[in-house]
Amino acid sequence: MTTLSPESGLLARVPPRVVRIASVVVVVLSWEIAGRAAPRWASYPTEVFAAFLDNLDRIIEAFVETFKAVGVGYAISVAGGVLIGFGMARIRVVKVALDPYVAVLYSTPRITLIPLAILLIGIGFNLRVLMSVLASIFPMIINTYAAVDSVSAELEETARSFTASRWSITRTVLIPGAIPGIFVGMRVGIIRALVGVIVAEMTAGAAGVGALLLVFGRFFQSEKLFGPVLLLGLVSILMTRGLSYLERKLAPWQD
C-alpha cells in the first residue's frame, strides 16, 4: 500500500501567502455571519470598520500618546539593558551586585508596582514611561548577558594573540557575537514595553490606548473596541518585523 507523505499532493504546492490570505478570509466571513446572527453579544467586521472610521481621530490621538511613552521607555531600556547586560557578563563585581535586583524585579508582576509608582511620581506621562522601562529592560539585560557570556573564548584568545586591545576585542568580537542575542531581547522588550504602557493606562485611567479601551469596554461598545485592539496587533507585528529587518542589516553574516 502506498502512503502519501505530508509534502505530497496539491495542497503542498499552494504558496504560504495564499494559505494565510485564505485563512483570514475564512475567519472574517465567519465572524461577519456569526456577528450578524447575534449582534447583542458580538459585533461584526463591517460594523467594526465603520466604527473605526468614525472614531479615527480619537484612536490616532490615543496611539500617539501611547507610543510616545513606549518610544521613550523602550529607548531607555535598550540603552540601559545592553550596558547592564554587558557589565554583568564582563565584570564580576557588577554581576554579583546587580544579580539579586534583576532576579527580584524580573519575577515581580509589573502591575503590582503601579500603586507604588503612582505614589512616587503620580499619574501621567512619567508613570507610563516608568512602566514601559520596568516591563522591557529585564529581557534586554538577561538576553544581553547570555549573549555576551556565550561568545567563544577561543575568539577572544585569538584576538589577544594579535595584541588586540580590550576595546578592539569588544568592538570586533563581543559585540558582533552578541548581536543575535541582543536582538532577541529587543524583540521581546518592544512588546513588553507596549504591554506595560497599556496596563498602566488601563489601571491608572491615564490617556492613551489603554484608557480608550477602558472607556469602550465600560459602555459595552464592542464595535468600537475591536478596531484599536486589532490595530495594536498589527503594529506589534510591524515592530517585531522591523527589528528583524534591522538585525539582518546589522548582522548579515547570520544568513
pLDDT single digits (tens) 209-219: 888 888 888 87
Cell numbers representing residue 12 in the block: 503542498
Neighbours of 2 (CB within 10 A): 3
Query: What pTM value is reported for the model?
Result: 0.82
- At 1, the pLDDT band (50, 70, 90 cuts) reads very low
pLDDT given for residue 214 in this prediction:
87
Q: Is 100 helix (H, G, I), strand (E, B) or coil?
A: helix
Q: How many CB atoms neighbour CB 94 within 10 A?
A: 15
For 40-49, the pLDDT digits (tens) are 666 888 888 8
* Cell numbers describing residue 80: 540601559
In this prediction, residue 74 carries a pLDDT of 95
**Percentage above 70 pLDDT, the chain:** 87
Who's near 194: CB < 8 A, 6+ residues apart? Answer: 66, 70, 132, 232, 236, 239
Tens-digit pLDDT profile for residues 49-79 = 888 899 899 999 999 999 999 999 999 999 9
* Secondary structure, 3-state, 28-81: HHHHHHHHHHCCCCCCCHHHHHHHHHHCHHHHHHHHHHHHHHHHHHHHHHHHHH
Which phi and psi (to 5°) does residue 144 adopt?
A: -65, -45
Tally Cβ neighbours within 10 Å of residue 111: 14
Q: How many CB atoms within 10 Å of residue 87?
A: 18
Query: Of the ranges 22-31, 36-45, 56-65, 138-147, which one carries the lowest mean pLDDT score?
Result: 36-45
What count of other Cβ atoms lies within 10 Å of the Cβ of residue 217?
13
Residue-averaged pLDDT of the chain: 84
C-alpha cell at 142: 538577561
8's grid cell = 505530497
Structure confidence at residue 24 as a pLDDT band (50, 70, 90) = confident
The domain segmentation of the chain, as residue ranges, is: 6-37, 45-250
**The CATH fold of domain 45-250:** MetI-like fold (1.10.3720)
